[in-house]
Amino acid sequence: MLTSLLAIVVALVIEQLRPLDARRLVQEPLQRLSARVIAQYCDGQASTGRFVWLALVIGACVAALVVDALLSAVHGLFGFAFTVAVLYFCIGFRDHNRSFSDIHVALRTDEPDRARALLSGWRGADHRDASPGEIVRLAIEQALVASHRSFFGTAFWFIVLPGPVGAVMYRLACFLAEDWGRRRGEEFGRFGEFAQRAFEWVDWVPVRLTAIAFSVVGNFEDALFCWRSQSMLWPDKHSGILIASGAGALGARLGMPVHESGTIVERPEMGVGDEANADHMQSALGLVWRALMLYLLALGLVGIAAWVGR
Q: Kindly tell me if the per-residue pLDDT of 289 is higher than 80.
A: yes
Q: What is the pLDDT of residues 208-264, one digit of tens each?
A: 999 999 999 999 999 999 999 999 999 899 999 999 999 999 999 999 999 988 899
Report pLDDT for 162.
Answer: 85
Report pLDDT for 3.
Answer: 82
What are the beta bridge partners of residue 271? Answer: 253
Contacts of 134 (CB under 8 A, 6+ apart): 127, 258, 259
Q: What is the pLDDT of residues 19-31, one digit of tens each?
A: 777 778 888 899 8
- Asked whether the beta carbons of 268 and 239 are under 8 A apart, the reply is no
The 3-state DSSP class for residue 200 equals helix
- Asked whether the beta carbons of 107 and 132 are under 8 A apart, the reply is yes
Q: How far apart are CA 245 and CA 18, in angstroms?
A: 31
Contacts of 68 (CB under 8 A, 6+ apart): 79, 82, 83, 163, 164, 165
Report pLDDT for 166.
Answer: 94
Q: What is the pLDDT of residues 71-113, one digit of tens each?
A: 999 998 999 999 999 999 998 777 788 889 999 999 999 999 9
- What confidence category does residue 182 fall into, taking pLDDT thresholds of 50, 70 and 90? confident
* Nearest-5° Cα angle at 97, 68 to 178: 65
Q: What percent of the chain has pLDDT over 70?
A: 98
Q: What percent of the chain has pLDDT over 90?
A: 63
Report pLDDT for 306.
Answer: 64
Report pLDDT for 80.
Answer: 94
- Asked whether the beta carbons of 133 and 275 are under 8 A apart, the reply is yes
Bridge pairing between strands 252-255 and 274-275: parallel
Q: Domain-by-domain residue ranges, the chain?
A: 2-308
Please state the pTM of the whole predicted model: 0.92
Mark out the alpha helices in the chain (DSSP H runs): 2-17, 22, 28-41, 46-74, 76-91, 93-108, 112-123, 132-147, 153-160, 165-181, 193-202, 204-217, 220-230, 237-250, 278-308
Q: How far apart are CA 273 and CA 192, in angstroms?
A: 38
Report pLDDT for 309.
Answer: 64
Spatial CA neighbour of 207 closest among 181, 163, 177: 177
- What's the average model confidence in pLDDT over 137-143? 95
